[in-house]
Structure 1
Amino acid sequence: MSLSSVLLYAARHSTKLTALPTAVKCLPHRAALSSVTALNTSPDRNIVDLSQQSIVLPGPERIRVTSYINETCYKPSQFYSEVSTVYDAFKRGQKLSNDGNFLGARTGPNRSYEWMTYSQVGEKARLFGSGLLAHGNQPGSCVGIFSQNRPEWTISDLACVHYSLISVPLYNSLGWESCRYIVNKTLMSTLIVDNVDKATSIIDHADAMPSLRVVVVMDLDDEGTSDIRQRYASQSIELCSFEEVVRHGAQNPSDVILPSPNDINTICFTSGTTGLPKGVPLSHKNHIANHAAIFCTYQDHELTDPNDVHLSLLPCPHVYERGNIYNIMITGVQIGYFSGDMLKLVEDAQELRPTVFTAVPRLYNRLFDRIRTSVDNGSAIKKAVFNYALNQKMKDLEQGTLSRDTIWDKLVFKKIQDILGGRIRQLYTGGAPISGEVITFLRCAFGCMFVQAYGQTETTSCISHTLPCDMTNGHIGPPGAGMEVKLVDVPELDYYAADNKGEICVKGENVFDGYLDNPELTAEAIDDDGWMHSGDIGEWTETGTLKLIDRKKHIFKMAQGVYIAPEKIENTLVRNPLIQQVFVYGDSTKANLVGIVVPDPESFPAFAAKAGVKGSFSEICQNEKAKDALLAWLQEYGRRKGLLGFEEMKDIRLHDEPFTEQNGLLTPSLKNKRPDIAKAFGDEIRDMYTTLE
């Protein structure tokens, strides 16, 4: 079919092929809170004026709350009256699912998803929890979980919930110094891991963890494990398989010991970017309030079909994914875990066919870049059709309409939708800023809501989130329901609350009470009036939404007296398709910034070839001419994106291996671990400053 024929056919069929269930109309200003079911919303339900999404409370502090306010949602501690703990959330999901599928993973030779029902998960959690008690744990004891995402992770967590134990997640990227610190800090006696390699590493460090008495391995059988069992026995530590603990629980059954809302559910240790991790105790009340903060403004998007599926991709130890799992669980739908290999993520998604997908901006950016590169490298006709289709979908967005049943979806966007299985209805992101261009593209391509959330471990995830019907970009939405947010002056960075700019401070039922056994850090985070200081710099927009503009925590002062926020520069530059990652460094005794850049292995070789440099990716990264060409391009790109002269890197070094959790250069939320990267590339940094002098 020719281009003219395609456009003519599309023009004649440009209306929606079907109005339901995938077309969603959101009024531009006075809008019901999204989805098809919102069309049947009762007339007395409060609705959000998208031109005024938050309101200012009386008083000099300029405190803002969501404008979606009624008796349920102004200061909610729980959204459902029958749900006040995570245990209640599980039981509600079990009832709603009619004992449908709950947890799934790819197993067996054909690598299809195999499922456990809610009742099967509940029974296994009860038996495993009984087994934990049989191995000496008591209500209030800390139980460690050191594993990749998989059903046993959630079963272990729910076992703790069933018996008022405290789950303590550990991250792969923590390193053994931090792991030892966490075990000792919590007096942990039981640690659950996923594989024998971790169990071997633990016994290598057992002398430094005197409280440890039991290690449970999810993947442990009798073959080839006699040596490690002997090593554990010699240290007076019991080594058990996951199923052995389940059997011990069956032999020594205990009645469930239900938690109260104020009981600690978990202690999340933030890996942070400096020093030892900080323990953040979060209660059941915190988690349920976090759910309420989101669902008050998302209730018309609540998943009600047991066939809905969430793809669990983000790390389970991270409070964001834990919140996702709890919020999915409370609705009685399914959770399928990715296989653990990011290279197989697309394969996982196409096998699972999720309806809900949550990821960090970095993944969405890569998806966007790959699609745009593919389009730009295609024929002129295909590129013209694609861009025309995208423009038509963008016009729909401007009218507040989301759909995946237009002719453009059939002709152009179906292949993109099929990348993630073809059934996506909800996309979420958090953890870092994401460009409006990417958000708009994904809304058009997938024809579904795209929600950006902002929060921290200390707030059990949610501080604010965009509303499903708001098609504008460049902000992170109004405060979550029940959250109070204010901005306070940061004079050293020239931000003042009177100008609607300042450090974001938060109050709410989902905010933690303080760091574990650390009153000094608690006093830094929570002031005398109970406000938690986030360390992020925000700005209120004209529509009452919050916009992240800077960071207070990671700033440094250069020799000429200017303050630098490196994350702001990195978030700007990483949108360049030639680079995969960037680390900006500044020495306070110097006047210039330098950086470490991981180029994109697909696009950078072609760029280097235009500069006359060819070879393997590693060889190109070591080439001075290629480096200089990329530096010049990044400087020009930064100027076009609004970076100032003193925010420009004056020298860089290229690195052909990405920063990862595994090599200790990224946090679990995929942020740069600044001291670790600076240490790892210390020689290169010194060399750059020597060259600049």
Structure 2
Amino acid sequence: MDVRRSFDILANQLEKFPKPDALAAKINGQYQPLSSQQVQDQTNLVSLGLLALGLKKGDKVAIISMNRPEWLLADFGIAQIGGTSVPMYPSITVEDYKYIFTDAGVRAVFVADKQLFNKVKEATAGLNIPAENVFTFDKVAGARHFDELLELGKQGNPADLEPLKAAVQPDDLLTLIYTSGTTGAPKGVMLSHDNLLSNCRSSARYVPVGQEDKALSFLPLCHIFERMVTYLYMIHGVSIYYAESMETIADNLREVHPSIFTTVPRLLEKVYDKIVAKGHEQTGIKHKLFFWALDLGLKFDTQKNQGFIYNTELALANKLIFNKWREALGGNLRCIVSGGGALQPRLARVFWAAQIRVMEGYGLTETSPVIAVNGYEPENNMIGAVGPLIDNMEVKIAEDGEILTKSASVMKGYYNKPELTAEAIDKDGWFHTGDIGEFVDGRFLKITDRKKEMFKTSGGKYIAPQVIENKMKEDPLIEQMMVVGSDRKFPAALIIPAFDELRKWAEKNGVAAKSHADLVKDEKVIKLYHDLVKKYNQGFAQWEQVKKEVLLPELWTVETGEMTPTMKVKRKVITENNKDIIEELYNKAEREPHTASRH
């Protein structure tokens, strides 16, 4: 069957491999499956329900929910009548909702629960969205429940959908995804059915799973990465099980035994840190064995056979130590796909060593999203790079190092923003990614920084902050970090300690366990981080080295407005919030002779 529009995925699955558990979510402590047939039938009811409300082709419908089957039923139901879904993060502000509802001209809203319903109610006050067009997935007093929409749909005839579906063209607008970016108002990225499905087709041969496999889904479906991968799973007949929440992933992995899941680097770091913390709790021979295996893992290289002795030791480490890692991840995991940010090479090395293959990829919302991905086979996977280009993808490196790309997956443009579209896609059709990169060995793409995040010191030297941050964040004592120093004499850093690890260090080193605010002012702690920075500085050129650092007591979060929903630091906001601290940092340096060469 030819999958040309998103909803063709449902008919394709029914025809090729009808599944008893196409989608499954945990309800009352048990995973409840929906079959391929149920998914298609309920999607039809959503479409007919929307038509009964008076919605038509081209209308915009918002979806605000964490992952669950209803999210996809809504998504496909909107698409079947030629509507456009507007997925939004549950974590954004009421003001952001109001802006997006208005900018997109949203006509109806699907929302998960009571808390989000209240936010939506506040955001829609005074807007042209009737209250009867807002439906909740959970039962919420005073709100229309999703079942009501399905009941409305039962009054219609599924046969009436056929001409509407036939009228939807591959180039029609499927979804409008608002990216918050690190500055300015959100921009609506316009993606057609073909944008997304061309990305699925071009990524298809990199998917090492099929109809016997299960995937665990927990990255937000409103993010294009998880949505495109979901479409890919369904095309390949993979059953999709939803994690209950970010907090329950460890339990859900053991219950579902998935073959694959997608993740962002931060989550893998947390998994790794937890495993290492358990290793520290071991004593005697167990402790020694754990760190022997870990050291072996950190030397692993997909591109290099390290000989008989290393391979024999690694096989032993897998039997004694790493098998427990695999069990903790469900015991059936074939691979993890990582995206949405730079993965620390040490994590990829140690997971590969433990026979858990990490496929790091790269792309943007504007490219639907995948541009390159590391393969499942070691020869097509280079740790530290983001992989070879997927099929039918063109990439060239501009003179200033920026990655430019051209393919059927590149967006139609930014909604209502022709001038921004013209800035992003040049007259020759090349999309300017804003990322700086290079090719290694002629075929592996490597990202070296964000073009907009690079800055010059007053000495005229370019600094790539992400490279420095990613390296130093490899240390278990550093939770978050941001390098500053635009137009200053040297780079400096704002550092937020990993407080759980720091408390353990404090107990062993005679520092009384105090509040975060007290810990970051303690002289011993300040010296600890100063020495850490000094150690990592050795890997950088003299002008790139962080010469001053300051410790901050509070994490940057989405709620404080200092992180985007995809967990990228909002540099301008953080700089503004800490301007006095940064100013004092440099003033103090001016008062100290020869600071710039102290490290």
> Separation in 1 of the partners of 2:414 and 2:456?
29
Letter paired with 1:96: K
> Separation in 1 of the partners of 2:187 and 2:301?
46
Residue number among 317, 333, 336 corresponding to 2:241 in the alignment: 336
Partner of 1:489: 399
Is contact 2:479-2:498 (8 Å) kept?
yes
Partner of 1:185: 103
Residue number among 663, 684, 689 corresponding to 2:560 in the alignment: 663
Partner of 2:20: 100
Residue number among 156, 162, 187 corresponding to 1:252 in the alignment: 156
| SS in structure 2 at match of 1:596 | strand
| SS in structure 1 at match of 2:433 | strand
Shift of 1:649: 5.1
Residue number among 325, 334, 338 corresponding to 1:429 in the alignment: 338
Residue number among 432, 435, 456 corresponding to 1:557 in the alignment: 456
Is contact 2:23-2:69 (8 Å) kept?
yes
> Separation in 1 of the partners of 2:542 and 2:44?
58
Cα distance, 1:139–1:124 mapped onto 2, change above 3 Å: same
Cα distance, 1:175–1:395 mapped onto 2, change above 3 Å: closer
Partner of 1:286: 195
* Structure 2 residue ranges without an equivalent (≥5): 591-599
Partner of 2:387: 477
> Separation in 1 of the partners of 2:21 and 2:345?
36
Shift of 1:687: 4.4
Is contact 1:611-1:629 (8 Å) kept?
no
Cα distance, 1:644–1:219 mapped onto 2, change above 3 Å: farther
Is contact 1:653-1:684 (8 Å) kept?
no
Residues 618-649 of structure 1, C-alpha deviation per residue, up to 9 Å, x if partnerless?
25434242552243133223213326444415
> Separation in 1 of the partners of 2:209 and 2:437?
29
> Separation in 2 of the partners of 1:140 and 1:678?
41
> Separation in 1 of the partners of 2:542 and 2:210?
45
1:527 maps to 2:423: no
Is contact 2:202-2:390 (8 Å) kept?
yes
Is contact 2:472-2:533 (8 Å) kept?
no
Q: Which moved more, 1:634-643 or 1:347-356?
A: 634-643
Cα distance, 1:212–1:271 mapped onto 2, change above 3 Å: farther
| SS in structure 2 at match of 1:665 | coil
> Separation in 2 of the partners of 1:90 and 1:400?
46
> Separation in 2 of the partners of 1:199 and 1:96?
38
Cα distance, 1:392–1:577 mapped onto 2, change above 3 Å: closer
Cα distance, 1:390–1:450 mapped onto 2, change above 3 Å: same
Cα distance, 1:396–1:561 mapped onto 2, change above 3 Å: closer
| SS in structure 2 at match of 1:104 | strand
Cα distance, 1:369–1:190 mapped onto 2, change above 3 Å: same
1:304 maps to 2:211: yes
Partner of 2:402: 503
Partner of 2:597: none
| SS in structure 2 at match of 1:616 | coil
Is contact 1:190-1:215 (8 Å) kept?
yes
Is contact 2:435-2:449 (8 Å) kept?
yes
Residue number among 279, 290, 294 corresponding to 1:375 in the alignment: 279
* Structure 1 residue ranges without an equivalent (≥5): 1-80, 230-238, 491-501
Letter paired with 1:663: T
Partner of 1:203: 121
Q: Which moved more, 1:462-471 or 1:640-649?
A: 640-649
Is contact 1:577-1:603 (8 Å) kept?
yes
Is contact 1:104-1:336 (8 Å) kept?
yes
Matched length: 576
Partner of 1:129: 47
1:602 maps to 2:500: yes
Is contact 1:262-1:283 (8 Å) kept?
yes
Residues 525-550 of structure 1, C-alpha deviation per residue, up to 9 Å, x if partnerless?
11111100111111111242111112
1:576 maps to 2:475: yes
Shift of 1:202: 2.4
Partner of 2:136: 217
Partner of 1:467: 375
Letter paired with 2:573: D
Is contact 2:90-2:116 (8 Å) kept?
no
> Separation in 1 of the partners of 2:509 and 2:544?
27
Residues 209-267 of structure 1, C-alpha deviation per residue, up to 9 Å, x if partnerless?
3355521111124xxx3xxx4xxxxxxxxx42111111111123453221321111111
Q: Which moved more, 1:465-474 or 1:378-387?
A: 378-387
Is contact 1:465-1:477 (8 Å) kept?
yes
Is contact 1:92-1:332 (8 Å) kept?
no
Kindly indicate whether structure 1 or structure 2 has the higher relative contact order, using CA contacts under 8 Å at least 6 residues apart. Answer: 1
Equivalences for residues 31-180 of structure 1 within 5 A? 82-108=2-28, 111-180=29-98
Cα distance, 1:93–1:409 mapped onto 2, change above 3 Å: farther
> Separation in 1 of the partners of 2:326 and 2:232?
24
> Separation in 1 of the partners of 2:11 and 2:192?
18
| SS in structure 1 at match of 2:452 | coil
| SS in structure 2 at match of 1:86 | coil
1:264 maps to 2:183: no
> Separation in 2 of the partners of 1:511 and 1:312?
25
Is contact 2:217-2:242 (8 Å) kept?
yes
State the TM-score, normalizing by the size of structure 2: 0.89
Letter paired with 1:652: V
Residue number among 546, 551, 565 corresponding to 1:653 in the alignment: 551
**What is the root-mean-square deviation of aligned Cα atoms in Å?**
2.7
Letter paired with 1:537: I
| SS in structure 1 at match of 2:500 | coil
| SS in structure 1 at match of 2:244 | coil
Structure holding more helix per residue = 2
Shift of 1:608: 3.5
Cα distance, 1:413–1:627 mapped onto 2, change above 3 Å: closer
Shift of 1:427: 1.2
Residues 194-217 of structure 1, C-alpha deviation per residue, up to 9 Å, x if partnerless?
112222222223345335552111
> Separation in 2 of the partners of 1:289 and 1:529?
20
Is contact 1:146-1:169 (8 Å) kept?
yes
Letter paired with 2:156: N
> Separation in 2 of the partners of 1:433 and 1:395?
19
Residue number among 190, 214, 229 corresponding to 1:324 in the alignment: 229
Cα distance, 1:416–1:124 mapped onto 2, change above 3 Å: same
State the TM-score, normalizing by the size of structure 1: 0.78
> Separation in 2 of the partners of 1:370 and 1:207?
44
> Separation in 2 of the partners of 1:240 and 1:622?
49
> Separation in 1 of the partners of 2:546 and 2:126?
45
Partner of 2:144: 240
Cα distance, 1:148–1:680 mapped onto 2, change above 3 Å: farther
Residues 129-153 of structure 1, C-alpha deviation per residue, up to 9 Å, x if partnerless?
2111211211111100011111211
Letter paired with 1:432: G
> Separation in 1 of the partners of 2:524 and 2:10?
55
Shift of 1:381: 2.1
Shift of 1:288: 1.2
Q: Which moved more, 1:320-329 or 1:156-165?
A: 156-165
Is contact 2:209-2:238 (8 Å) kept?
no
> Separation in 2 of the partners of 1:607 and 1:407?
31
| SS in structure 1 at match of 2:267 | helix
Shift of 1:587: 5.0
Partner of 1:613: 511
